[in-house]
Structure 1
């Protein structure tokens, strides 16, 4: 099983919390799409397996025209074995969603929509500098459902400072009332090269306290679990049958090909590639030099172990101890006995069917636990 990821590095405006690679200038959009088509031709041999998932992320993929999206999908189908494709996801912002676009996306073979609404509360959308309002959030989900997109996920952000818990509770109630089968939820983090980062340095913005964010995370987990959602990854909740197949493949260490400026690729074993995170350089290298600017990293044994622990421990499946032994000759329980014993004593981890897993309490400390188990 392999996947293809498209990074669409364009947005209408810059969200105050986002540090992903993107541009608010659309003047290179056509050239970047041409570069992606070139890249799909040159990278045909990167993955020799059948493609099962295709994911358009960003940035804002819904900013692509129907023609641009169509030629990219046509190229994938022409260059790769896509007869077994199970999921084609498009990330979309509420303000981009129209009945006409939804009909075209459906016709093109998009099977799953990821709507980045983030909140149903107007002041929080303004704080984050989102391009849509609360009413558009609701309308976008309902329009998508009416258009036949049953496989639907929404993003919600918690841990917003000055947010009374009741506002977060209301956001979850609203999400549940929409009956979407998948919800991704992330804590608001302050990254250095963002507006929030600059405001924090100047003392104009104070991030939420850890305890405050943890209380909202615990309420999130409890509420969604009580309403039939599986907490299958730290930030992801789904009704049975609606797990993100593309992201699940990431977490299980499957190979994937990343296309576009800033996209990453993984061969499934020992190397990663990182495309240049600059739209102009990406286009120039392809158009003028007929080559792709990227960095390649060969993964060491330690890299492989650490990445496996980091990604799998966050999931419902846990970290397969036999896999580590078979592939890396690494006995985690023995090699990291001191750390494991400490986490056991704190009731943060458990072992079930030879898989190391987080307890409900341990989910609050997932990153800390993973990093301390690194070799």
Structure 2
């Protein structure tokens, strides 16, 4: 099975913390859709003989696409790929784009999962982030989606912002639980380079991130959602039974996927490609038949390190039997030796030939993974 990711690089406004590729001008949206449709045709052999199990519209703000634009994209996908009948199709959307009409358009198009960028249910948090929606729309968007019959919903929440107290964080999480949301993606605020947030912190216009507060809010989050019956199946992702993200899970399992649109990445099992991150240039190169992406073939060492990084973030953990069969006994032995100090420090457990992080270890997931890398 394989997946397709489609990057829609347009937003109504720029969130202060965001470093994804997007434009706040919609002027090029029609030409962009033309380019996406053509790229679908150009890339139809990339996943040759693969059944497409997931489609994910990310961004940017994919909910800015019109019914006609969505229809054109889906028609091209069905004409060029073999689509699974039980496919998961996710659309990222902002709360302010959700209404009865848009929900019907999405359902008619075949979208069966919504990823709603809530971020917070508090007005002051949303204003601090420069979000386009307000607190009323945050809750109302979920109720509207559920009323329309869409129940496979995930929401994004951000913790660790200077405006978010521990009490407000608990209220955010409890609101999601009370609204019967079956999947949550929760992210610690990160000050990314070249963002408005970084600049405002440097200029002392905004308060910097409190790492201790973030750590405590993450530990609290894990307890609250565990008590509420959620499975913590990846560092940032929590799901009720049967509601894991199939698309993102395929990334973490190292399965093949095709990325369409500017800045999108593709992976065929041994090589990675990435499209140029420039809307006008992407459109121009597609139209003129020029090359619009770069790529690299991953060495066995790079493949192993990627596996370590992704597997350690998941509930399944690192499978040393898999490491031994794919990368050799020495690699498995090196990882076993490398993880021992984290086992001794109660940050990891080693059981039945699997290595998994403890709750405390998840605070240091990236550092532990990089320490296990083969160089």
Same fold (TM over 0.5): yes
Q: How far is 1:162 from its partner?
A: 4.0
Corresponding residue for residue 339 of structure 2: 340
Kept in 2: contact 1:320–1:355 (CA 8 A): yes
Match of 2:278 in 1: 278
The structural deviation recorded for 1:209 is 2.1
* 2:327 counterpart of 1:325: no
Shift of 1:292: 3.5
Deviation of 1:74 (Å): 1.3
> 2-side partners of 1:233 and 1:152: how far apart?
17
Q: Aligned pair count?
A: 373
Matched residue, 1:7: 7
- 2: distance between equivalents of 1:5 and 1:292? 19
Contact 2:233 2:314 in 1 (8 A): yes
| Alignment of structure 1 residues 38-77 onto 2, 5 Å | 38-48=38-48, 49-77=50-78
Alpha-carbon distance, 1:107 to partner:
1.2
Deviation at 1:73, TM superposition (A): 1.0
How far 1:114 sits from its partner (Å)? 0.4
Residue 9 of structure 1: how far off its partner (Å):
0.3
CA contact (8 A) 1:51 1:85 kept: no
Aligned to 1:126: 127
The residue matched to 2:82 in structure 1 has which SS? coil
Q: Distance in 2 between matches of 1:264 and 1:337?
A: 32
**Dislocated runs of 4+, deviation >6 Å:** none
Equivalence map 1:239-254=2 (5 Å): 239-254=240-255
Unpaired segments of 5 or more residues in structure 2? none
Measure how far apart 1:321 and its partner are: 1.0
Which residue matches 1:19? 19
Deviation at 1:85, TM superposition (A): 4.2
Aligned counterpart, 1:193: 194
Deviation at 1:140, TM superposition (A): 0.2
Given the alignment of the two structures, is residue 144 of structure 1 paired with residue 163 of structure 2, yes or no? no
The 5-angstrom pairing of residues 142-221 of structure 1 reads 142-221=143-222
Determine if the alignment matches structure 1 residue 351 to structure 2 residue 350.
yes
| Secondary structure in 1 matching 2:4 | strand
The 8 Å contact of residues 321 and 355 in structure 1, kept in 2 or not, is answered as yes
Conservation of the 8 A alpha-carbon contact between 2:124 and 2:163? no
TM-score normalised to structure 2 length:
0.97
Q: 1:161 & 1:93 partners in 2: Cα distance?
A: 22
Does the aligned pair in 2 maintain the 1:324–1:331 contact within 8 Å?
no
**Cα deviation code 1:49-98 (max 9, x no counterpart):** 10000000000000000110111111111111103442000000000011
Deviation larger for 130-139 or 70-79: 70-79
CA RMSD of aligned residues (A): 1.2
Deviations 1:197-230 (A, max 9, x none): 1012222223222211010001111001100100
SS of the aligned residue for 1:250 comes to helix
Contact kept? 2:125, 2:163, Cα under 8 Å: no
d(CA) in 2 for partners of 1:274, 1:366: 26
Q: 3-state DSSP class of the match of 2:350?
A: strand
Q: Greater CA deviation, 250-259 or 325-334?
A: 325-334
In structure 1, how many angstroms separate the alpha carbons of the residues matched to 2:4 and 2:86?
A: 11
Which one is further off, 146-155 or 289-298? Answer: 289-298
Q: 1:205 to 1:218 in 2, by over 3 A?
A: same
TM-score of the pair, normalised by structure 1: 0.97
Distance 1:292 1:144, change over 3 A: farther
